[in-house]
Structure 1
Amino acid sequence: MTNPHRTHKRVTIADVAREAGLSPTTVSHSLNGIGQVDPRTRQHVKDVAARLKYRPSVRAQRLRTGKSHAIALLSSMPAAVSAGESQLGFFTELAMGLARKALLSGYVLVLAPPMDQCDPLALMDIDGAILLEPAPDDPIARELEERGVPCVTVGGEPGPDNIDLQHAAAADLLLRHLLDSGARRPGLILGASGRASQRSFHERYLAMAGARGFAPAVGLAAEEEGEAGGQRAAARLLAEHPGLDALCVPIDTFASGALRAIGEAGLRVPGDLLLATRHDGVRARTCQPPLTAVDLHLDAVSHAAVQRLLRMLGHETQDAPLGLPAPALVARRSTGA
């Protein structure tokens, strides 16, 4: 009878090296994707390790290298807009793709939602970080720099360590769709944080207003107010500009709040007013009516962000393609689709 509590001798790097006829250093470099190792040698080592059922000791790796093999997803966006009440917002959806890619690359992803009560970086042992849509002079970005933690931003300022969410292209898609769907005077509701996405939407909106000849109408909401802030901003904008026949609301939490304000004003979507948001997430899909949105290709964004961070951490990995897929419009009933 097999003893269920029987322990088996753990296969070590030395065992793999002996079987492969190579030095432990070459085996270690081959398995960890570091150093200059011939691709055929690297594959030979992986084949031998698989045959011996070698499993690396994560604890030993950390002690030996001084690395945690952990990366974090961080954001200064309040949870009210980055996740919302369902906790299934933009931040969480991006995290799923990042976690998959990180694990395939030998890293675990630490999810650190925005918190006012503590400093998450003081509690984490991480090798690098991915920072989602940093604000101007973002406190988390500043602390990462002070701590010397390598960081890739997603949707931040243009630069070699930023993954571009193509804000201007997303703005043009939504605004043109609203106008092509019959809107004559669309309004815009933005977050007041000054993040790159909100600035891009504002710039493209003003340019579109000038090109199409409609008077701009822009409302602002504080991110920490979440859906209620979007609702109040929409109510004010509709009261101040009764001729509006569409709203572009890039932050989906604000968009669902705007939908409430529209209903309270006795208007119907899409019958009286068209409504569109940026992120094609759970909120956009489950609103009634479902909201027209933009597919930002978060899987590709996740892949690119992890690849870029691994490169910064010294791993031999090919960078993701420079050209991410272009944002794609997902038309729904909120704009008459």
Structure 2
Amino acid sequence: MSQSDRFVPRVRLVDVARAAGVSKTTVSAALNGTGRLPAATREHVRQVARRLGYRPNATARLLRTGHARLLGLVAREYVETPWVYAELAYFGQLVIATTRAALAHGYGVVLLPTSGPDDCWLDMPLDGVFVVDPVAGDPMVGDFLAAGVPVVSDRRALAAVADGSRQELGRWVDFDHGDAARGVLDHLEAAGAERIAVVAGATTACFHQESVQAYRDWCAERGRSPLVSYLSGPGVRRALGAVEELLDDPVPPDALFVLVEANPPLLLDAIQRRGLSVPDDLLLVCTTEDPAARYTKPPISTLGFLPGETAETAVELLVDCVEDREGDRGRLFTADFQARASSAGLRRRPGRTPHRTS
């Protein structure tokens, strides 16, 4: 086969217009999702384009419109371990939901590292960025806004860099983390817990800081001593180690509120191997989106932060900003607490103490 035989001419916009019997302007509007076209016309043009194998020239479109139709996504909580967030249940679901929502609007998603040489992310042709769990005073949020790139993040991050020139480029999705934590603590107290311990991340991300502060305030209001074990980084081993450390306390807790992502079956197994029964001896609530929590024995109570809903809203806010449409400035969500058998109530069996390892 000669080189000329292998060459296939690129299908142009005018070719699609000619085959569909419409103007080039109509083809452009139909394929870009713009304009006021009848649904039948838009679908007809798209079918013709697919049949002919038409692909828009991304470079030409970028030069013409100034948009690459790419959105960035990054989880900033894990600055020291740039890609580990993709391995965790919550962030895994968030990535999928963000990608699905972006595609529905005609955008692709680029997963960004939490850190990189010389702020490499600023060289990417991104139309907007969803910055999840930013650290305190997050420079990434400020850098993108200063570069004129729209950002969706939490309210604290946007407030830290807010000024007149950047205000319109920032949108937010957020939770009242303190209120969510208090709801779990009240539930555990009602189930009989008197010494509740918390496993948290050693990070300045808003979720961990607000949740732990709410816990400390809650304990102070009741005259109780807080018991917190901090993780230096993500990972199942670290989470299990933090739980074991708490159970080895001279006065062990009778309830655990785990704020970090942990594997529910492994966590339950670690507790049971130390001679404790859940919930008879120890109540347990985990912050996780891992569906396995529903199927352990006993099923584990969970506090969830709606990755699907927040991702869809974040994408809508970004697209509104990128395409200069009027829209909401942000949205406050309510966390999803699912009370299951693991926090149903203590029985306080006499003489029952944790097994201590040497």
- Distance in 2 (alpha carbons) for counterparts of 1:162 and 1:6: 48
Q: Which runs of 5+ in 2 are unaligned?
A: 1-5, 160-169, 346-358
Q: 1:104 to 1:315 in 2, by over 3 A?
A: farther
Q: Deviations along 1:210-269, whole A, 9 cap, x unmatched?
A: 45x251323242442533333343344444461521011111239888656645653333
The residue number in structure 2 matching 1:292 is 301
- Distance in 1 (alpha carbons) for counterparts of 2:90 and 2:240: 19
Q: 1:51 to 1:259 in 2, by over 3 A?
A: closer
The 8 Å contact of residues 83 and 92 in structure 1, kept in 2 or not, is answered as: no
Pairing 1:56-71 to 2, within 5 Å after superposition:
56-59=55-58, 60-71=60-71
User: In the TM superposition, what is the alpha-carbon distance from 1:204 to its structure 2 partner?
Assistant: 2.5
Task: State the TM-score, normalizing by the size of structure 2.
Answer: 0.73
Does 1:278 find its partner at 2:323?
no
Count of paired positions: 326
The 8 Å contact of residues 189 and 249 in structure 1, kept in 2 or not, is answered as: yes
The residue number in structure 2 matching 1:227 is 236
User: In the TM superposition, what is the alpha-carbon distance from 1:49 to its structure 2 partner?
Assistant: 1.5
The residue number in structure 2 matching 1:152 is 152
- Distance in 2 (alpha carbons) for counterparts of 1:146 and 1:85: 26
User: In the TM superposition, what is the alpha-carbon distance from 1:158 to its structure 2 partner?
Assistant: 7.0
1:331 to 339, 348, 351: 339
Pairing 1:23-42 to 2, within 5 Å after superposition:
24-25=24-25, 28-29=28-29, 31-33=31-33, 37=35, 39=36, 41=37
The 8 Å contact of residues 128 and 150 in structure 1, kept in 2 or not, is answered as: yes
Does 1:177 find its partner at 2:176?
no
Task: State the TM-score, normalizing by the size of structure 1.
Answer: 0.77
- Distance in 1 (alpha carbons) for counterparts of 2:87 and 2:110: 16
Pairing 1:1-337 to 2, within 5 Å after superposition:
10=11, 12=13, 15-16=16-17, 24-25=24-25, 28-29=28-29, 31-33=31-33, 37=35, 39=36, 41=37, 43=39, 45-50=41-46, 52-53=48-49, 55-59=54-58, 60-78=60-78, 87-114=87-114, 121=121, 124-153=124-153, 157=157, 161-211=171-221, 213-224=222-233, 226-240=235-249, 242-253=251-262, 262-263=271-272, 265-282=274-291, 284-285=293-294, 289-314=298-323, 316=325, 322=331, 324=333, 326-336=334-344
Structure number with bigger Rg: 2
RMSD across aligned positions (CA) = 4.0
Q: 1:20 to 1:184 in 2, by over 3 A?
A: farther
The 8 Å contact of residues 80 and 227 in structure 1, kept in 2 or not, is answered as: no
- Distance in 1 (alpha carbons) for counterparts of 2:118 and 2:330: 37
Identity value in percent: 24
Q: Which runs of 5+ in 1 are unaligned?
A: none
